[in-house]
A and B are shown apart, each in its own frame.
Chain A
Amino acid sequence: MIDTTPRFTVDGTRTAPTNWDSPDMRKRIARRYAAERRFKYLGMGAVILSAAFLAFLLYVMIGNGLSGFQRTEVALDVDFPALTGGTGAAALTGPSAENTAASLDLPGVVSVAVEAQYGETEVPIFSSGAWQIVQKRLLEDPALIEARQTMWLPASSELDIAAKEGGSAQAERLLAALRAGDAVQTGFNSSFLTGSDATDPAQAGIWSAFKGSLMTMLVTVILAFPIGVLAALYLEEYAPKNRWTDLIEVSINNLAAVPSIIFGLLGLVVFLNWFNMPRSAAIVGGLTLALMTMPIIVIAGRNAIKSVPPSIREAALGIGASPIQVVFHHVLPLALPGILTGTIIGMARALGETAPLLLIGMRAFIPTPPGGLTDPSTVLPVQIYLWSDEVNRGFVEKTSAAIIVLLLFLLSMNALAIYLRNKFETRW
């Protein structure tokens, strides 16, 4: 139906009414609707593209890294009675077992056994750490030494790569020969989770880096959590409105936005040069990360404290509690779930941090797990960075596997934060 009511323009002249059914108008509306759809698809495309990037990243990491949890093993016949001069099982029990095992010259035993079974090969068959596994198995079960054994030992890095993704021609030939003799199997790479950094990718593991991460995080949380919570309480509950308080607020907001590498420079100058603390130590890393995490905890804590309704405070004051009692007996317990959520998120960020720790020297080669807070140590992200720089191709899968472990950890921390928030959050 055509609208026939007269229209007026601003200066009062009459115009013909807009004919919405005219082809021009229809075309115009169609064009506007098409633009609307395009815009919507553009938005959808942006979301999908971002999500696709995340999916691609995870796909690449998992695709590269899953094989890092597996290792290729090759069978080896070890004629223990002949090679160890008939050492009895009794010698490998009791307190002197370690010494006896050391005196057996197991590296020599293994290489003689390899020589006997496979002869000279173009590429080494076994990882140079294979004898350690023999030693471990002997100590666990001394009876093994009294007979000839077939042991499955980790293959060398070249052979491992050849088995997983194809390697050099020599390694491929050797692998085919071994496969023909049914002497190859794939097993779970337990030494990746329990071992330490090594120059041979077949032996490299993440345990020492992981332990370093745990110790660093321990220092961080012990320092940053109490200080952050106390500062948040002060600023939100007691601080008078004056220039000092403003200064504190500005510096906290600013610290939360300072690039992390600046904290590394601070740690290098203040902790290492001025206070002479040990280089590469977990305690310095923890201190540096605590300074970085504290502002995040303060900001999250203030939001949590702010959301506790004033009626709680007024009721407590009304029945005679002192201001300190009001806060510590009532406000803090109610705000704690929110504060904890913020703390876990801040800790997750600190756990993935690399740059400041590089500057304070936590990038050393750490072949044994650190024993204490002042021992040289490294952390998981730095270990990932160090491995990513290795030329040896065997480290590609190790790097990705370490990334999988790190991401799993971060994911579970964030899941814990979300769980805490959903379970304990009170909506007033």
Chain B
Amino acid sequence: MAGAGLLFLVLGLGLIAWITGRARAAAFVKADRTNLNSLPSYHGWYMALFAVVPPLLFLAVWGAIVPALQTDMVLSAPAAQALPMDGFARASILSEARAIASGAQDTAFQPMAEQFVPLYRAAIAHYNWIAVAATVLLLFAGGTYAFTRLKPDFRARTKVERVVMGALLTASLIAIVTTIGIVASLIFETVRFFQMVNPIEFLFGATWNPQSTVTPGGDNGFGAIPLFWGTVFIGAIIAMIVAIPLGLMSAVYLTQYARPAVRKWMKPILEILAGVPTVVYGYFAALTIAPALRDFAAAVGIPGASSESALAAGVVMGVMIIPFVSSMADDSIAAVPNSMRDGSLAMGSTKSETIKKVLIPAALPGVVGGVLLAVSRAIGETMIVVMAAGLTANMTANPFASVTTVTVQIVQLLTGDQEFDSPKTLAAFALGLVLFIVTLLLNLVALRVVKRYREAYE
């Protein structure tokens, strides 16, 4: 691979530049017996940076533009006259020829691609030479410039530190870039979706049955209400019915009652529940819990029992959330001032009365914040519902029936044939945007509640 070889060449020469710069600085000390402004290694770094950074920037830009240049060169050859005029067929022949020429593919499926392979080989070789020459030239120019600037009183350290500072700032800006990337990509595709499907129909329609073709003004089966209901039913109702009592009571028991030895062992064990991959939970729900629940429902005589039930997915998801609720409750209870607890105990109330009437009410905002965070995590959870909850959009409150969720449909819509001009594919991004906004709001509200409450006791 030419790119990797070139990269190693640049880094190797950079190392030589570093050694040269340091040796040069050390030579100043020997010759003049003066003190350097900066340590010799900073001179080395200064030179290495000047030698390495411009070629790397060049290579990054080059990597983006060179395929187009190579294709232009191939197309300018006389053989290119024979190519079909149809843009798609043309592109597929050329990309196959490129794949063979660069060694990614062995044989051509399209006979026409064969004759372009040598042309591509020549183009790649041609531009590789240009790249190597330009890189080495830039490297030496930068290195030489830096070398001439090295003097005993040269402030190499300040310059190098400025670069380090720039790198630190860039690294922290990546978080913002990622956020912008998420928002931009979701909005970009969602707007395209809403050009085809009415947003009102999407947000308030009650039938979900997406098709690839859309009739304007008609009911196209893009009503997401059943998905929202399924998501809330599984993530915010069933899962929380499991997770809140178990998580809260576990936290209370482990912090207030358990002996230190029990606490030391049980806390990490419960935390394993949060570390088990969700695909394992999903498999467990589909393999064990769901059939058991279906059989139970059939035995009791509940109608509409399905082997993919909301209950199976919700219960398993609730178990996954237990450690999350438990640690949030733990933190909130620990933040209640001891004086309140001691006061209650001094009045003669029992431990459980203190917990129920003093600690939990005092910690309630923190607990509620934690529950909101847990809900936001549960509704964004994907694998458990994909494997255990089913695909049919049902508006039902029967926990034994199959419902579907936003995340299931995103996976479902995007794992078949992806056509980025069909509303069926684009609908996934609209669902993703809704999910993103809802989890964002839940998180912001939860963090604000928790923060307010912390301040109240500080």
Chain A residues close to B by CB (< 8 Å): 32-33, 35-36, 38-40, 42-47, 49-51, 53-54, 57, 60-61, 64, 226-228, 230-231, 233-235, 238-239, 247-248, 251-255, 257-263, 265-266, 268-270, 273, 291, 294-295, 298, 322-324, 328, 348-349, 351-355, 358-359, 363, 374, 381-382, 384-385, 388, 396, 399-400, 403, 406-407, 410, 414
Contact = CB atoms under 8 A, between A and B. Distances in A.
Interface stretch (B28-36, B146-154, B266-274, B330-338): B266-274
Which 9 pairs between the two chains have the least Cβ-Cβ distance? A259-B380, A43-B253, A352-B277, A46-B249, A230-B171, A39-B352, A269-B185, A355-B382, A234-B168
Contacts of B279: 352, 354, 381-382, 384-385, 388
B402 interface: no
Nearest to B420: A273
Interface centre among A45, A298, A324 (most CB of B within 10 A): A324
B352 A40 contact: yes
A234 B169 contact: yes
A226 B91 CA distance: 38
B282 A385 contact: yes
Which of B272, B279, B376, B381 has the most chain A CB atoms inside 10 A of its CB?
A: B279
A54 B277 contact: no
Chain A residues touching B, majority SS: helix
Given A262-B436, A322-B157, A43 B249 contact: yes
A114 B316 CA distance: 47
Interface string B262-291: 000010011011011111111110111000
Contacts of A233: 168
Nearest to B157: A322
A260 B168 contact: no
B130 interface: no
A61 B186 CA distance: 38
B318 to A, nearest CB: 10
Contact of B350 (A35, A257, A403, A407): A35
Contacts of A50: 246, 250, 270, 273, 319, 322
A270 B350 contact: no
B62 interface: no
Given A43-B252, A257-B439, A262-B182, A396 B287 contact: yes
A230 B253 CA distance: 40
B186 A388 contact: no
A227 B277 contact: no
13 contacts: A32-B350, A43-B250, A47-B249, A50-B322, A233-B168, A234-B169, A253-B443, A260-B382, A265-B182, A354-B278, A355-B382, A359-B411, A385-B283
Contacts of A358: 411, 414-415
A28 B245 CA distance: 27
A262 B380 contact: yes
A294 B280 contact: no
A57 B174 CA distance: 39
Contacts of A291: 178
Contacts of A352: 275-280
B383 interface: yes
Contacts of A262: 182, 186, 380, 432, 435-436
Contacts of B432: 261-262, 265
Contacts of B185: 265-266, 269-270
B173 interface: yes
A60 B377 CA distance: 26
B440 interface: yes
B164 interface: yes
Contacts of A60: 284, 287-288
A403 B377 CA distance: 23
B175 A51 contact: no
Given A358-B415, A410-B275, A238 B283 contact: no
B253 A252 contact: no
Interface string B182-206: 1001101100000000000000000
B174 to A, nearest CB: 6
Contacts of B69: none
B171 A234 contact: yes
A406 B282 CA distance: 14
A403 B287 CA distance: 13
B157 A231 contact: no
A352 B282 CA distance: 12
Given A43-B253, A57-B276, A231-B172, A265 B353 contact: no
B411 A248 contact: no
